[in-house]
Every structure is written in structure tokens, then in C-alpha cells.
Amino acid sequence: MRKVAAIHDLSCYGRCSLAVIMPVLSVMGVQCCPLPGTVLSTHTGGYGAVQRTDLTGQVEGTVEHWDRLGLRFDGIYTGYMASVAQIHQAVEAVQRLSAPRAQVVVDPVLGDHGKLYSSMTEEMAEAMGQLCEQAQVITPNLTEAAILLGLAPDALLGQRGKDLALELSAQGQRSVVVTGVTPEEGYTGAVWFDAATGASGTEVAMRAPGEYPGTGDLFSAVLTGGLMMGESLERAVGRAVHFISRCASYTSALGTPVREGVLFEPLLPLLLGDGLAMDDRI
């Protein structure tokens, strides 16, 4: 069984971060080894003041322990980081714990809707760029793509072109998936560039009403699972785009409060099998 070390936060209520990453990877046949950098009472989207526990020391000690044990991972997936120190620890984890030919997927969580998140700083954005240099695949949204390119956070809002993913690829050295792209009214999706083949493209699906927290984590988890299963980047992106669309439509139809995130649990069986024609199985 392939193993992925997931370095992220753990929100104890609300569907995001490790709370969605672990079940998704598990159902896709991948062992998820969590490495939480922060524990939060809830996610930060609509539940008021959040209780936080910083686990920076735990991250450092865990990486050292795993390294002493000789543990190596087929994939390393990183998401939200609480500080510059944690981002540097993630870089160290990639360098010390990656198996040969490991897939390193970095979701550079920095901001959305044209703004940095309130907990992010310019120093953290710079450090996140250094972490992205360690990755085989990065999955920024449009705001994060702009920040990584040294632009204003809102500079790329409304961007649709494939050239954006190529521009973020470090001259073709890494694969890129830019999420939150709106190619036409009523649709949403992602543009991608595959460093292994030089191919690029756009994958789209119907857009459901609502802006649900945690969908970026869910997207990157499905993408990582697909890559661990040996899928091409194009196929893994398609699987993730259609799964998120299906979950959002299902959640909207049931009238679930947006702040609870998408109801992905009943739909996890959709991730079994070859993932072909995900939209045909809705």
C-alpha cells in the first residue's frame, strides 16, 4: 500500500483539512499518515473565535522520529501552514522523508478572492514559494497563483487561460493545477500543465450554488489520491473537478448550511474504481 504523509491543520468541526484528506485518501486505497501543524476547534469560516493549538514542536519531533525509523513516503502532501517555521519544517520533511520518485503535492494555502488570509504574512508567502520549489505538483487558486508570481493578490481574478499554469511551472520543471477557474457562466474548474508530458488543458464541471469551505482541501486530496493510483495528471484533475461538483450539488440540494462544508461522506464510493466519466455517474 502506498503511503502519503499529509502535513496540514486539523479542524475538529467543519469539513476541511485533515478531516477530509484522511477519509478521501483511505477510500482511494492510500494510507494517509497525518502530521498536523495546528489543531483548531472549528475551521475559520463562520464559527466565530477559534481555539487554536500550535503543534510546531510536534511537527519537528515527528519528522525526526520518522527519519530515525527510516520511514519514507510515496507521496507528501502539504496544505495550511501556521507560520514560517512550519513551512520550513515542511521543506525539511520533503527532503528527509521522500521515497525515490515520490509525488510531492503542495497546496500553497495563502488566500482567496483576491486577498491574503488574515493569518498570512508576506514572509509566509515568500517561504511558501520556497516550499513550492520542492514540489512535483502545486495546486494554487487564482489568488495564490498571483502571489506566487509576485503580483497583487487580485491580479488574476477572472483569468481563464492555460498559459497561467505553464507560467507557474518553473519553466516546465513542475506540474501545476490552478483551481477556481471560471471558463464560462455556470461552470467552474481548473487549468493544468503536466511537466511529464508538456500537455496542458482545462477541466470544467457544473457550478453549484454556494461558496463552501474546504473544497480546496478536498480537491487536492482527490488529486493526490489519483496520482498515487498511477493516474495521469489530466485524469486526476478530471476526477477531482467532477467529484467536487457532485458533492457541492448534493449539499446544495439538501440545504445544508454552507459553513459546514460539502457533504462528501455519502459520495466517497464515487472515488472507487477507474474514475472514468465521473460526471456520467451523477
Q: 211-231, pLDDT tens digit by residue? A: 899 999 999 999 999 999 999
pLDDT-based confidence at residue 281 (cuts at 50, 70, 90): very low
Give the tens place of pLDDT for each residue, 239-250: 999 999 999 999
99: domain CATH number is 3.40.1190.20
pLDDT-based confidence at residue 274 (cuts at 50, 70, 90): low
Q: Which residue has the cell 525515490?
A: 100
Cα dihedral: 173, 178, 183, 186 (round 10): 160
Q: How far apart are CA 229 and CA 171, in angstroms?
A: 27
Neighbours of 172 (CB within 10 A): 12
Q: Where are the beta strands (DSSP E) in the chain?
A: 3-11, 31-40, 52-54, 73-78, 98-106, 111-112, 115-116, 137-138, 175-181, 187-193, 200-206
How high does pLDDT run on average in the chain?
93
Give the tens place of pLDDT for each residue, 57-85: 999 999 999 999 999 999 999 999 999 99
- The whole-number pLDDT of residue 278 equals 45
Task: Work out the average pLDDT over 178-195.
Answer: 92
Task: Work out the average pLDDT over 18-37.
Answer: 97
pLDDT-based confidence at residue 279 (cuts at 50, 70, 90): very low
Q: Which residues lie below 8 Å from residue 74, measured CB to CB, with a gap of 6+?
A: 2, 3, 4, 99, 102, 103, 228
Number of domains, the chain: 1
- 236 or 184, which is more confident? 236
At 135, is the secondary structure helix, strand, or coil? coil
Range of the domain at 10: 3-281
- pLDDT over 50 at 280, yes or no: no
Task: Work out the average pLDDT over 116-129.
Answer: 94
Q: How far apart are CA 176 and CA 154, in angstroms?
A: 19
Beta bridge partners of residue 189, listed in sequence order: 181, 204
- The whole-number pLDDT of residue 118 equals 87
